[in-house]
């Protein structure tokens, strides 16, 4: 729990907000609760404006603000906004293929130096070891083999997208139904003797009762939904289009009556205590092959050679003699010796309740050159001044005063921290496009800080990782246009130009073409540019913001599009402009395109 220590505010950066229970909506209520932030009256705003003016005067001269509100705007309460980039048109869930601009191999980069006063005092880093990845819920559990020698899978936490016995044309964009797109539909009685309708497989929900209607999103397989009214719509492409709750139309061929009551679940599914849905691992070594069946894996036959950086999500393990194989969520088999587990970051930002208790502005204390190092606090704004104390990385501190040369920040009486060791959360007026009380996000690229607002009220703040120099995050004002509970991603442009493939990235929100806010389960270096252009978030932050931001994702849906009636939240990205890198070639893997 947060606590006040003499002179300095110390708040552990990884335990600021207690996690919600898995069965509850993911932090949706907590993110917008609480009162006004301390100091947001006129005098406090003017004081913050003066401090920000001094901060900007002493900043590095290169670059531009990128659309941020000026100091005069902040102190006077006026609003200015950058150019608005419209979201792409999406006539069908396949019409535009979003992509993820990140690098899953980042955890292979040299880690920050261990905490300590001097580099020579640090212990040498441990050599990374190959590990066998157990099931955290039951470490002794293994997949049970069936009569054919292949595992009998537990699919209780798996949503399969494709049923090969069903109509494959549903995956093809732009197909015309028989009779033409203009053929009429008409109402028919619809009153099934059932408590709910089970979704046979993940399927697009349409705005209107016809196949060529724009998609609203995707309802996931095995959800039991309720239908509206006592009529359905018959047309040339479907015998009965059924309107489901809370909105949209699904063809009856993908629904079946069920005697049980409706049941829908938040996606992706999490076990109790999990930060991410399941276990992820990086494939290591040279000339590693993935096998399509356990039998072939045992014989080392017909394996597919994996190229570039590959991240997989693991479903279960099988021990055969002295060898252990893991099955991935896409049905491939890999030996345990070629896998290294990712350990998702437990870091978490601060919600509205804590924001109401913090000064404005505040900062996370974390070195930009040695993120794992302790942050030194000096008795005067001078590197040669006596050291008063040290702060653990991501300690929350007040920002009270800037030294004359702009290199030091007063966090408490006679306690100074180097400016480069702070990531400041500045609270800014909303751009004029944002309506009263509307939810929007402000990303400060220089500080590597994101603040979420409802109108002018900050309700969440956290550290992020944006694009590295050369693969910068775009600046401007955008809207979230599509959200995925999970998305498999592929791309290129990593170290040495290798390709990469990232398995099931949870809580992904695209705001401009293939740029997204999303979970990064492969590193814990938030506060430092790490991505290939996207906004990396720690798992708890990504989950909270995914639930809070617009458009709302109905429970049981794995993807949702923004529409004119339900637009996405605004995302303002500002900071110093950098030289753009080479054009990226990135695509979303097939499961993402199919609405997983």
Q: Domain check: are 321 and 358 in the same one?
A: no
In this structure, is residue 176 part of a structural domain?
no
Q: Domain check: are 575 and 494 in the same one?
A: yes
Average pLDDT by stretches of 10, the chain with 596 residues: 38 33 37 38 73 80 39 35 40 42 40 39 36 47 57 43 39 40 79 96 95 96 96 94 97 96 94 91 92 90 89 89 89 92 95 94 94 95 96 96 94 95 96 96 96 97 92 94 89 64 92 94 94 94 98 97 96 69 44 36
pLDDT score recorded for residue 493 = 58
Contact partners, residue 174, CB within 8 Å, separation at least 6: 92, 212
CATH number at residue 474: 2.40.440.10
Q: Domain check: are 524 and 403 in the same one?
A: yes
Q: Domain check: are 327 and 218 in the same one?
A: no
Q: Domain check: are 458 and 518 in the same one?
A: yes
pLDDT score recorded for residue 232 = 96
d(Cα 397, Cα 8) in Å, to the nearest integer?
Answer: 7
Range of the domain at 467: 3-14+29-106+348-593
pLDDT score recorded for residue 574 = 95
d(Cα 457, Cα 33) in Å, to the nearest integer?
Answer: 11
Q: Domain check: are 460 and 574 in the same one?
A: yes
C-alpha atoms less than 13 angstroms from C-alpha of 6 in its C-beta half-sphere: 3
Q: Domain check: are 334 and 394 in the same one?
A: no
Q: Is the peptide bond before 374 cis (omega within 30 degrees of 0)?
A: no
In this structure, is residue 172 part of a structural domain?
no
In this structure, is residue 392 part of a structural domain?
yes
**Which among 341, 369, 387 is the end of a domain?**
341
In this structure, is residue 112 part of a structural domain?
no
**The token pair that represents 498 in the structure block:** 């290798």
**Which among 341, 357, 385 is the end of a domain?**
341
Q: Domain check: are 316 and 383 in the same one?
A: no
pLDDT score recorded for residue 500 = 79
Q: Domain check: are 539 and 397 in the same one?
A: yes
pLDDT score recorded for residue 148 = 56
pLDDT score recorded for residue 380 = 96
pLDDT score recorded for residue 145 = 59
pLDDT score recorded for residue 183 = 57
pLDDT score recorded for residue 49 = 81
Contact partners, residue 459, CB within 8 Å, separation at least 6: 31, 32, 33, 34, 351, 352, 355, 452, 453, 548
User: Are 504 and 590 spatial neighbours (Cβ–Cβ below 8 Å)?
Assistant: no
The DSSP bridge partners found for residue 478 are 571
Total-model pTM: 0.77
User: Are 138 and 319 spatial neighbours (Cβ–Cβ below 8 Å)?
Assistant: no
Q: Domain check: are 368 and 431 in the same one?
A: yes
d(Cα 574, Cα 570) in Å, to the nearest integer?
Answer: 13
pLDDT score recorded for residue 55 = 84
pLDDT score recorded for residue 321 = 85
pLDDT score recorded for residue 46 = 75
* Residue found under tokens 């990782």: 465
pLDDT score recorded for residue 409 = 97
d(Cα 163, Cα 222) in Å, to the nearest integer?
Answer: 12
pLDDT score recorded for residue 547 = 97
**Which among 192, 227, 258 is the end of a domain?**
258
Q: Domain check: are 233 and 298 in the same one?
A: no
Q: Domain check: are 330 and 355 in the same one?
A: no
């Amino acid at each position: 729990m947060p606590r006040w220590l003499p002179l300095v505010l110390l708040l552990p950066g990884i335990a600021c907000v207690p996690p919600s229970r898995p069965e509850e909506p993911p932090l949706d209520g907590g993110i917008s609760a609480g009162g006004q932030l301390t100091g947001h009256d006129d005098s406090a705003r003017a004081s913050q404006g003066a401090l920000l003016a001094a901060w900007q005067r002493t900043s590095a001269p290169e670059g531009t603000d990128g659309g941020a509100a000026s100091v005069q705007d902040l102190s006077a309460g006026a609003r200015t906004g950058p150019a608005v980039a419209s979201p792409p048109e999406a006539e069908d869930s396949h019409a535009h293929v979003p992509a993820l601009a990140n690098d899953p191999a980042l955890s292979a980069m040299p880690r920050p130096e261990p905490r300590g006063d001097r580099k020579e005092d640090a212990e040498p880093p441990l050599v990374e070891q190959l590990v066998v990845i157990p099931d955290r819920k039951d470490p002794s559990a293994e997949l049970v083999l069936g009569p054919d020698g292949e595992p009998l899978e537990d699919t209780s936490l798996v949503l399969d997208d494709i049923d090969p016995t069903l109509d494959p044309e549903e995956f093809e964009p732009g197909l015309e139904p028989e009779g033409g797109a203009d053929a009429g539909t008409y109402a028919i009685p619809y009153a099934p003797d059932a408590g709910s309708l089970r979704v046979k497989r993940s399927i697009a929900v349409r705005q209107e009762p016809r196949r060529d209607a724009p998609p609203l999103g995707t309802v996931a397989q095995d959800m039991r939904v309720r239908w509206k009214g006592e009529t359905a719509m018959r047309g040339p492409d479907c015998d009965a289009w059924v309107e489901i709750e809370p909105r949209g139309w699904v063809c009856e061929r993908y629904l079946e009556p069920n005697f049980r009551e409706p049941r829908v679940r938040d996606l992706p599914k999490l076990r109790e205590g999990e930060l991410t849905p399941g276990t992820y691992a990086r494939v290591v070594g040279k000339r590693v092959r993935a096998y399509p069946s356990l039998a072939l894996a045992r014989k080392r036959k017909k394996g597919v050679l994996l190229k570039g950086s590959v991240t997989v999500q693991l479903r279960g393990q099988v021990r055969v003699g002295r060898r252990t194989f893991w099955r991935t969520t896409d049905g491939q088999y890999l030996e345990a010796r070629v896998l290294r587990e990712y350990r998702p970051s437990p870091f978490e930002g601060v919600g509205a309740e804590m924001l109401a208790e913090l000064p404005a502005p505040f900062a996370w204390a974390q070195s930009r050159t040695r993120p794992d190092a302790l942050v030194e606090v000096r008795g005067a704004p001078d590197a040669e001044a006596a050291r008063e104390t040290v702060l653990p990385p991501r300690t929350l501190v007040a920002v009270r005063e800037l030294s004359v040369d702009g290199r030091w920040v007063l966090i408490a009486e006679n306690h100074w921290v180097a400016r480069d060791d702070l990531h400041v959360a500045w609270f800014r007026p909303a751009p004029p496009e944002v309506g009263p009380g509307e939810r929007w996000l402000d990303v400060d690229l220089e500080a590597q800080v994101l603040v979420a607002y409802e109108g002018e009220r900050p309700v969440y703040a956290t550290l992020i990782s944006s694009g590295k120099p050369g693969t910068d995050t775009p600046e401007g004002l955008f809207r979230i246009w599509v959200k995925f509970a999970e998305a498999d991603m592929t791309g290129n442009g990593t170290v040495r130009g290798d390709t990469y493939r990232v398995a099931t990235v949870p809580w992904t929100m695209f705001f401009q073409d293939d740029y997204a806010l999303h979970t990064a389960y492969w590193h814990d270096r938030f506060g430092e540019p790490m991505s290939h252009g996207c906004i990396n978030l720690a798992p708890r932050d990504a989950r909270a913001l995914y639930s809070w931001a617009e458009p709302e994702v109905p429970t049981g849906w794995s993807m949702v599009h923004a529409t004119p009636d339900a637009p996405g939240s605004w995302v303002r990205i500002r900071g110093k402009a950098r030289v753009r890198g080479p054009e990226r070639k990135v695509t979303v893997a097939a499961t993402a395109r199919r609405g997983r």
